[in-house]
Chain A
Amino acid sequence: EDQVTQSPEALRLQEGESSSLNCSYTVSGLRGLFWYRQDPGKGPEFLFTLYSAGEEKEKERLKATLTKKESFLHITAPKPEDSATYLCAVQAASGAGSYQLTFGKGTKLSVIP
């Protein structure tokens, strides 16, 4: 069974204080690992897809990295508008549910001015 564990559950940062969010996963062959941002009462907003170990992607203050067991979302010099819940999800490479995503519980990030 595919599993995704995100840590920490919640993270409070001062504006400008860089940090990282962790996503550990167990999947029977990884087709893709996805990062989403979710604001309260909204649907997830796509950030990144990573496909293979060693891959990195960047967007503004965010950088996602991938190993064979985990992914990190690095946030550099965060701003209050980066406050949100960040979700990690994996897609298995094969099987009946190979188009389905398995989500972690998310990390709620609060950036204090």
Chain B
Amino acid sequence: GAVVSQHPSRVICKSGTSVKIECRSLDFQATTMFWYRQFPKQSLMLMATSNEGSKATYEQGVEKDKFLINHASLTLSTLTVTSAHPEDSSFYICSARVGGGYTFGSGTRLTVV
């Protein structure tokens, strides 16, 4: 089946630094990638939709200058959290459309200290 590999699984960074999260589609080409954020006991909230070779579309309330998304190839999308603050601590998950469905990465637990 279609697999999306997400790295790192956990990261701790200092406040004010930047963190990059990678998602790779291992056995298919991901034209569209979705990035979600999930707080404890909350739903997955869509942050942005990225299409290969074009600018990402951000959901209302998501700062595009803080959460930089790059989808430069059909197998790689990255999310960079810039100038991270403790309130950015969360679980970040990527997802790709495959056929009529969606496959998800394993998630990245970001802790900003």
Contacts and interface: CB of A to CB of B under 8 A. Distances in A.
Nearest to B104: A43
Given A99-B97, A103-B43, A42 B107 contact: yes
A44 B44 contact: yes
> How big is the B interface, by class?
20 to 34
A105 interface: yes
A34 interface: yes
B102 A34 contact: yes
A43 B107 contact: yes
Interface in B37-77: 41-46, 49
Nearest to A102: B46
Contacts of B103: 46
Interface string B1-15: 000001001000000
A106 B95 CA distance: 18
Contacts of A97: 49
Q: Which interface residue of B34, B102, B104, B105 has the most chain A CB atoms within 10 A?
A: B102
A106 B109 CA distance: 19
B30 interface: no
Interface string A88-110: 01000000010111111110000
Interface string A50-89: 0000000000000000000000000000000000000101
Contact of B43 (A34, A45, A99, A106): A106
Given A41-B107, A89-B44, 4 more contacts: A41-B91, A41-B109, A87-B43, A103-B44
Interface of A: 4, 9, 32, 34, 36, 41-46, 49, 87, 89, 97, 99-106
20 contacts: A4-B43, A36-B104, A41-B9, A41-B91, A42-B107, A43-B93, A43-B105, A44-B44, A44-B93, A44-B104, A46-B101, A46-B102, A46-B104, A49-B100, A87-B43, A100-B46, A101-B44, A101-B46, A101-B102, A102-B46
